[in-house]
Structure 1
Amino acid sequence: MRIPFVKMHGLGNDFVVLDGRDGNLPPLENQVARAIADRHKGIGCDQLIVLEPSGVADFRMRIRNSDGGEVEACGNAARAVALLHGKPANVETFGGIISMRPEDGGAAVDMGEPAFGWDEIPLADAMDTLDMPVGWEELERPSAVNVGNPHVIFFVPDCDKVPLERLGPAIEIDPLFPERVNVNVATVEARDAIRLRVWERGAGLTQACGTGACATAVAAMRRKLVDREVVVTLPGGKLLISWGQDGRITMTGPATESFRGSFDWGAFA
């Protein structure tokens, strides 16, 4: 059984998109997702995106990281899917319903309202999520935000000097985070500018993370380090993040279709 796919990326964070909105895709097991995502033996991607029918929105978007695990939200993937869909849509995710609209070369996505309660992140212990009394080596006193998936954010003098490839995996699986966590290290450069690197839960270091940019921007706004609209610069490029007075986050940025193809499902099953 040959399955068509679209390879896309948002600022270098890349995806394989499978369109199963007609209901004809076989069940997707973890090992199949891992095999498709494998960069040496599969198609290769940071996340595998599967579009399905929805009873509450225009369609459903499911997201699997390269380790095969399913996650709640992915902002870069949402922009890619908006570009692929070609018109405004409300989309069901495990993190809630989001709305998206394509724009020239990319998309704007309403990511919904962030959550800050310790049990909403979730954390294993009750604490203030704006200024958490915890640390891992030089990374101390982070903020935590859930924007459909859990993020912890450390504000540092120079995010490029943090050994995130070493500290990220340890923090991701720390018992404080029962559902694991995405790890962000950020440097505030101006009232409207943040530089950011992200260790993504289940995917590792990536060129960009849309939910990480949203979570980091909101955390900086809560700490009054930046204004309510900010440009977040990641290794792969820039995203514009706004946090409206209505409490909802809007992320605007580019997305790109790389190529299309098809594969034999049985080769990965």
Structure 2
Amino acid sequence: MASETRPFLKMNGLGNDFVVWDAREKPLRLSKDAIAMLGDRESGIGFDQMITVERSNLGVDAFMRIHNRDGSEVSACGNATRCIGRLLMEEAGKDLVSIETGAGLLHAFDAAGAQSVTVDMGIPGLRWDQIPLAEEFADTRAIELQIGPIDDPILHTPAVVSMGNPHAIFWVKDVEAYDLERVGPLLEQHPIFPEGANISLAHVFDENQIRVKVWERGVGLTLACGTAACAVAVAAARDNKAGRASTIHLPGGPLGIEWRESDGHVLMTGLTEVEFEGEVDLETLAWRKTGAGDTALEAGAAS
């Protein structure tokens, strides 16, 4: 029996990159090991997350399933939501789409710029049990957590926020002054985070301008993380470090974040890019490019 090949799109939002499958007509399930092999940047396609676009049980435009590079399934990914929002809008000829995710229903709309998309990420979780934490903290703007010597910690007292996934934000004077690749895994799996956490270093360098570096849960260092950008903006506003509208500067580029006062929703705006089309042999996991970028979702439809 001949092995099956399936087409995909390679996309990114500010360098936070994804392999996108269209599984609305033909379901697709890959093992955790297969996802990790495809996600490997040396031997596979290489990506931060794998996105599977499926039919929504809620009757909205699509359901978005998200797997990290290590094969673990997660509920939220802001930059992927912007990318999938762009594809669905192009496909349907609409300027607003609704996407079902494990973190709830999200809405993406055209930001009136070339490949720029805004996503309503909903209301952030600020209580300790929403994030979640392993123990109760009355104030999540700065919890008791540190790494390093007690009398001279490397990092300490992070703010914590949920954007459908857990985030810890450490305010520092220089995001490059720390070896996040070393301390990130330790903090990600700290016992205070029963579901793990995304770890961000953040520095307010000008009015409403925040520089951020992110260790993403299940991924590692990343050029951009949309939910982390949202979490940092919310944490900054809660602690009067910035206003409700700020620009988050990630290694891959800027994201505009607004924590809307009228309803508490977080809006995220930034660029998206289609890098190329490709196809994968699902038995051998061999893959190849089949086309250039700037295409619509039909190019990734199941064969």
TM-score tier, shorter chain, comes to: over 0.9
Moved more, 49-58 or 196-205: 49-58
* Residue of structure 2 equivalent to 1:9: 12
Distance of 2:105 and 2:194 partners within structure 1? 24
> Which of 74, 78, 82 in structure 2 is aligned with 1:75?
78
Determine whether 1:114 maps to 2:124.
yes
Determine whether 1:256 maps to 2:258.
no
Distance of 1:99 and 1:21 partners within structure 2? 19
Alignment of 1:182-197 (within 5 A): 182-197=198-213
The alignment of Structure 1 onto Structure 2 pairs a total of residues equal to 268
Letter paired with 1:129: T
How far apart are 1:13 and its partner, in Å? Answer: 0.9
Distance of 1:68 and 1:132 partners within structure 2? 30
Alignment of 1:1-269 (within 5 A): 1-22=4-25, 24-56=26-58, 57-85=60-88, 86=90, 87=94, 88-103=96-111, 104-127=114-137, 128-137=139-148, 138-245=154-261, 246-268=263-285
8 Å Cα contact 2:85/2:99 also seen in 1: no
Q: Which runs of 5+ in 1 are unaligned?
A: none
How far apart are 1:79 and its partner, in Å? Answer: 1.2
How far apart are 1:106 and its partner, in Å? Answer: 2.2
How far apart are 1:175 and its partner, in Å? Answer: 0.8
Write the deviation string for residues 205-239 of structure 1: whole angstroms up to 9, x where unpaired.
00000000000000000001101100000001000
Moved over 3 A (4+): none
How far apart are 1:34 and its partner, in Å? Answer: 1.1
How far apart are 1:177 and its partner, in Å? Answer: 0.5
Letter paired with 2:146: G
- Which of these two proteins has the greater Rg computed from alpha carbons? 2
How far apart are 1:30 and its partner, in Å? Answer: 1.0
Distance of 1:177 and 1:67 partners within structure 2? 19
Aligned CA-pair RMSD: 1.2
Query: Aligned in 2, Cα 1:223/1:105: closer, same or farther, shift over 3 Å?
Result: same
% same residue? 45
Q: Which runs of 5+ in 2 are unaligned?
A: 149-153, 287-303
TM-score, normalised by the number of residues in structure 1 = 0.97
